[in-house]
Structure 1
């Protein structure tokens, strides 16, 4: 089926650099190659769980005990029947062999998790235990997964993918403690082709708790990809622990081809990364949009990452939109961890109100960090609007004095009057443990997306989450919105018709115009410098 779109698009840039990249009124959006069917092989043996009970719940905290007739060592497909669920709990999943993974998917249509308004339930969706399993809403008739009517973004249909994934989680912002999906005490699993929205806290939360011996099991061999997580109260993905050592080491963690969009705090918060981990070809867009009234101060970076040991790579990602740093990065090895060898290459960073990169933590001389061929633009200081004591950092990258390891800055580009790093007067030189070579200060071409659905010419930092008061600013002043201001409220997009203060958008149509929902086709626009360099989503627009 051919779909024709006439939606408006956004350039990921500051206002002075915006251009119109929308398709013409009868022009088809670009396509992407279709991935071949058969990703998980034939469906083999199957078992279908019961559908929602009278309360809309699927509560099976111990699947192996509840269904002893199933051979959990060899079952190929575990099906969740189509329907609307108010709560799902699947626990004690089996430990499987790596060459015989259990695939968990929808059958008969779409699975929708959505609680009832006013419910007092403690969570929405919990999956616990086991290893070598896959959770997917992917439509694949050869592998017996998903449903033909809910293909998600298959074949590049990003602009029409909203509410068209096989499994969808919508918490309706019911509770500030809710996750769209919480995964605990599991390892060696894969999660893909889900849509998660309006989570009261994080979209996806993954962690492991310490055992009775005080040791924390690892979070190894986890793949998170092809996820569409948007309009969350806090993070889109919150992986690992920030509670201090010991933490669950995450070796060989792969995060790729995800759209993490319009998050109240960081789009990505990932920590405890170990050897073989790779974060690549993601779009982290419009992070920290609740920076005036988030649950706590300074939770407004685009993303946050922490590494422990081994070789770790971040490459070909798009980090667009933040209030604090575009990336809050920490190195925090624990006893027994391998020496760190971390590389950031070919990433695009743009549009925040403070720092480009903060590099914190503690390392010795044995660690190594390389920043190569990254691009930075749109670092326009404005953080004092909420934090009056804040000062322009005047640099792109800053680091803590506790980092003693060599840091190489090579062939990066940055735009604006800031220094690349304190103590460097240009793109080459040495400042303490930082060695710079071949970096260039000059114009950086804005990265453009195929289509976002936001009004033409919208600057990245123009979009915020609506708040009655700036609760993080001194004296919590009311927020006044100028005519033309764009805000998200309850997952919907509004534009101010006139200047207004303390007017809740849905209840005040005279001052707030409701706009179409963003389409979030966040593939890099074809034919551009960034597309040629392969930066952005793996699905190439053609």
Structure 2
């Protein structure tokens, strides 16, 4: 996805010019400013104030033995507690945290605490460079941290973090490690269905601006994000990039994104890397796992420039591209998009459900100096597209190879012509560009429907060009069911869409008429049409639109099913 620069000013290198006011270096969070949790920063040699007891946070359900173990980060020694929200504007504005607190030993600080409260904006920059053996853990204390702007604000961003390496941003409740809070455990102990608004750190962009990220991270590498909730972002939920300088792009290496709940965003849930052309930052050892990326306007996942050691596994990418009728740009209506550059890369045990243009827009695009590619897609479940299953583009040839093994494809039912009337059924599961000439192997995959696996191949075994297929089966594929989506019983994936008055991607931008029973999302709220209607905004027309409870989003694979047995989908306990 390509964005204009005006929409990206908030992503990297954020300055006071993007804030709601030009805060000085010793701005609203300096010592003495009142906050909702602390009057100023404090340092000590032990744990922060007690956050409540341990044990099962919900008083029932799974036992402690079924929960994530405590002590992941070890007990904290040196800690620093930042001030709470500024009493005047609700901001935390610390673009250079090391300069702000020069007496802190940033090489040994164990915990950086953000006090509980509601912030209109957070800017936390120039984080320290740390060794992998001693990461800096950044977490909430005293309750939940909420970043939520005020309606009508003209601020340039919601939440910016930058600089440094080997730091962890977490809302995980872990009393042994001194992180999080007992009242906000997120999905700990498998409590996915009740996790909404219960993570230690919540970013709610209220759809304030189409250029806003839930959190934007720049000029950093070797960091980790976990146990965060991000919702109602005007652009991407999480945006991560490093800008090239002097024709050289710094690396985006050794980053972990896991146990994130990102839902109801105007565009992507995760937008990682750059699509602005070479040189781009190479993402080696990127790990993306155990995330729920749900109900996104465009792609659920967009990751670029993957390098050696990158691994995307055990995620659920569900209800992608629900704004496909009015998406900001054509061809941004896939479930997910990924670009690979060099090295050994794996995609496995993921669930890709719901897309318009394709379930996966995949590109192999090495840059000058990159080595060969060795990419595997294994044990993934792909379902419910309005057009193509997989598009394989880019330019790659001798020395690289690609394997598709034990994947399943279903719900390949063409319906794209309702917005793009000149489009036609692709007739295949996977379509590739002629510029992809590397060996491709299809082994033991399953797909249902009348389409061919790939152009030129009849059945599941044979050879066409550089493509070799063995043991693939065209036949019925069992539906993967979730524990509890929270949607009305029997809801088909592609039924749910983002409400829009006009299908701006269709010729002449016709008005959209919703039939009785239609399900839509509007401002993060789920509605069902009581009767057929046209151009009736749901919250303003209660006689036509019935508000429904928020989706539960317990997107674990249902126990006792084939897909659960094969380990497809979310992990019981993530490492």
2:200 paired with 1:191: no
Structure 1 runs not aligned, ≥5 long: 6-27
Shift of 1:337: 1.1
C-alpha separation in 1, matches of 2:541 and 2:571: 41
1:288-326 deviations in Å (ceiling 9; x for gaps): 000000111121100000000000000000000011100
Out of 121, 125, 140, the residue aligned to residue 106 of structure 1 is 140
Residue of structure 2 in register with 1:464 after alignment: 497
Residue of structure 1 in register with 2:419 after alignment: 386
C-alpha separation in 1, matches of 2:62 and 2:284: 38
Residue of structure 1 in register with 2:439 after alignment: 406
User: TM-score of the superposition, structure 2-length normalised?
Assistant: 0.89
Residue of structure 2 in register with 1:335 after alignment: 368
SS in 1 for 2:216: strand
1:39-82 deviations in Å (ceiling 9; x for gaps): 00111110011111120000000000111011111100000000
Shift of 1:3: 6.7
2:317/2:353 contact within 8 Å kept: yes
Shift of 1:33: 2.1
Give the structure, 1 or 2, with the largest relative contact order (CA under 8 Å, sep 6 or more).
1
1:201/1:234 contact within 8 Å kept: yes
Residue of structure 2 in register with 1:372 after alignment: 405
1:523/1:540 contact within 8 Å kept: no
2:192 paired with 1:158: yes
C-alpha separation in 2, matches of 1:69 and 1:30: 44
1:442-501 deviations in Å (ceiling 9; x for gaps): 000000000010000000000000000001110000000000000000000000000000
Out of 261, 277, 290, the residue aligned to residue 310 of structure 2 is 277
C-alpha separation in 2, matches of 1:410 and 1:164: 42
Question: Which contiguous aligned blocks of 4+ residues in structure 1 show a shift greater than 3 angstroms?
Answer: 1-5, 28-32
Residue of structure 1 in register with 2:211 after alignment: 177
Structure 2 runs not aligned, ≥5 long: 1-55
Shift of 1:30: 11
| Equivalent pairs, count | 518
Residue of structure 2 in register with 1:115 after alignment: 149
1:31/1:156 contact within 8 Å kept: no
Residue of structure 1 in register with 2:471 after alignment: 438
2:62 paired with 1:33: no
Out of 119, 137, 143, the residue aligned to residue 85 of structure 1 is 119
Shift of 1:214: 2.3
C-alpha separation in 2, matches of 1:314 and 1:32: 30
C-alpha separation in 1, matches of 2:548 and 2:226: 29
2:368 paired with 1:359: no
Q: How does 1:429-508 map to 2 (within 5 A)?
A: 429-508=462-541
Out of 238, 256, 267, the residue aligned to residue 223 of structure 1 is 256
C-alpha separation in 2, matches of 1:300 and 1:188: 30
C-alpha separation in 2, matches of 1:101 and 1:2: 27
Residue of structure 1 in register with 2:279 after alignment: 246
Residue of structure 2 in register with 1:11 after alignment: none
C-alpha separation in 1, matches of 2:521 and 2:464: 43
Residue of structure 2 in register with 1:261 after alignment: 294
C-alpha separation in 2, matches of 1:383 and 1:29: 43
C-alpha separation in 1, matches of 2:166 and 2:308: 19
C-alpha separation in 2, matches of 1:482 and 1:170: 31
Residue of structure 2 in register with 1:148 after alignment: 182
2:57/2:183 contact within 8 Å kept: no
Residue of structure 2 in register with 1:18 after alignment: none
1:353/1:383 contact within 8 Å kept: yes
Residue of structure 1 in register with 2:448 after alignment: 415
1:32/1:539 contact within 8 Å kept: no
Q: How does 1:285-304 map to 2 (within 5 A)?
A: 285-304=318-337
Q: How does 1:43-82 map to 2 (within 5 A)?
A: 43-53=76-86, 54-82=88-116
| Residues 357, 30 of structure 1: alpha-carbon distance in 2 compared, 3 angstrom cutoff | farther
- Calculate the aligned-residue CA RMSD, in Å: 1.5
User: TM-score of the superposition, structure 1-length normalised?
Assistant: 0.94
C-alpha separation in 2, matches of 1:64 and 1:320: 43
